Amino acid sequence: MNKWVLGARVRTLPAAVAPVLVGTSFAPKINWINATLALIVSLSLQIAVNFSNDYSDGIRGTDANRVGPTRLVATGLATAKAVRTAAFLSFTIACLAGTLLSLNTTLWLILVGVISVLAAWGYTGGKRPYGYLGFGEFSVFIFFGLVATIGSYYVQAQQINWQIVLLSIPVGSLSCAILVINNLRDRPLDEMAGKQTLAVKLGDQKTRFFYGFLLLITQVSVLLAISINKQIVLALICLPLVYKVLMQVLRGAKGEELIAVLGKTAKIQLLTAAIISIALLV
């Protein structure tokens, strides 16, 4: 497989697609140009985060001996400079699409975009990356949950309401769950490297319980969203898969097993978002 495709970490991209699906589908009338631009922004930011993490962790040496996805810098598949360039190119694409989107709607979105880019880079980049301090999950919930979902709706309807805020919660909690599994898998090595992720701070068992809490929040918010559209109840079809991955995590899945759990969690997010979106469209 092409090394740049590996570096983009395709398995994480449902976290970028899901909020755009839900936010766009709730709009009374869809502007497909704005929807496409919103998707480009979301995907580009996710890819930029993945490349910037690869670069920052690689030059710090915290990616050595990882179990998860192939790291370009740590394995020597690409130079640190080339990976940093890929990250900046992805950020540039996101900024260009975001600027066009703001010109179509409101210039205030430029400020939201700047904050999003700074948050994406600051996760593992800079002198004091907040991902090393245990705030990664909080950031993912905010930016790939609330901001991305509400923003995708706003560029369609030019308004914000309680319904779209509620619909953004299952998207955000599942995005957060994906990161929790990623950090649970890497916890032993992160602890050795001095990377204080939330998983390191909580410890193994509490991190597994936290993952379960996020899945619970997802299902509760889906139930509450039935008040918006009764057909959203169909999203509960994901419950058997949710239960299966939860039991796998609670029973102590480690290393390679957690890579599969991460993929399944991403599928749950995309499937949940797709069902909610279809329900809203119908």
pLDDT at 64: 58
Tokens (6 digits) for 155: 């560029």
Structure confidence at residue 123 (pLDDT): 87
Residue 181 tokens read as 């599994």
Give the chain's residues under pLDDT 70: 1, 62-69
Hunting for tokens 């068992």 — which residue is that? 205
Residues 6+ apart with CB under 8 A from 226: 232, 233
Domains of the chain, residue spans: 3-281
Confidence (pLDDT) at 66: 60
pTM for the structure as a whole: 0.92
Rounded Cα distance, 20 and 26, in Å: 10
Residue pair 95/31 in contact by the 8 Å Cβ criterion = no
CATH of 3-281 among 3.30.60, 1.20.81, 1.10.600, 1.10.3470: 1.10.600
